[in-house]
Amino acid sequence: MAILEIYKYPASVLRDKSAPIGQIDSSIKRLASDMLETMYAAPGVGLAAPQVGVLKRLVVIDIAHEAKDRNPLVMINPQILYSAGEITGEEGCLSIPEVYGDVSRARLVRVKFLDLEEVVHELTAEDLLARVIQHELDHLDGVLFIDRMSKVKRDLLKSQLRKKAKLAAR
């Protein structure tokens, strides 16, 4: 296993749409394993393949707060089948460090995906897990959580992030 580089905003890979995974081979299994290690080390509760520079429809999630409670979820080619309700809550992102903002999401989602053994699953998730699933699936389509914020807040954040990137490049 390896800790991968997490690409930071405004890296262009974060805005690209990911391709479906055809065959779940050893390279995909290794990627999933490396992504889990990277997510835990960051630390975070979710990570999408584009965040590590891979444009494949793969996400890893674990909302456990304690290492002893870990329950990793690997989703390949996930798709939301159904969503209901709405809840607004604070989000952050490993690709946009130290930036947080309120985002409205569905309170409940039903998602279909493949696991590493190519078994099809359907999962109904609520609250935090539903939020994380929606956040990570957005990454697969090149959408960042800041895109879901109000225009005023989003424009202010993007301006601050551009300034921060310019300073870091010096």
pLDDT tens per residue, range 61-102: 999 988 899 999 999 999 999 999 999 999 999 999 988 989
Cβ burial 87-123 (10 Å sphere, 16+ → b, else e) = eeeebebbbbeebebebebbbbbbbebbeeeeeeeeb
- Are 131 and 91 in contact by the 8 Å Cβ rule? The answer is yes
pLDDT at 154 over 80: yes
Cα angle value 142/76/113 (rounded, 5°) = 105
pLDDT at 167 over 80: no
Query: What is the pLDDT at residue 73?
Result: 98
> How do residues 97-127 score in pLDDT, each as one tens digit?
988 989 999 999 999 999 999 999 999 999 9
Which of 51, 49, 6, 42 lies closest to 27, judged by CA? Answer: 49
pLDDT at 156 over 80: yes
**What amino acid positions are annotated as catalytic residues?**
136
- Are 52 and 39 in contact by the 8 Å Cβ rule? The answer is no
Which of 52, 48, 95, 94 lies closest to 74, judged by CA? Answer: 48
d(CA 6, CA 26): 21
pLDDT at 165 over 80: no
> How do residues 25-43 score in pLDDT, each as one tens digit?
999 999 999 999 999 999 9
* Domains (range + CATH), the chain: 12-169 (3.90.45.10)
Give the C-alpha distances (Å, rounded to integers) separating 170 from 51, 98, 163, 165.
Answer: 23, 20, 11, 9
Q: pTM of this prediction?
A: 0.94
d(CA 44, CA 150): 24
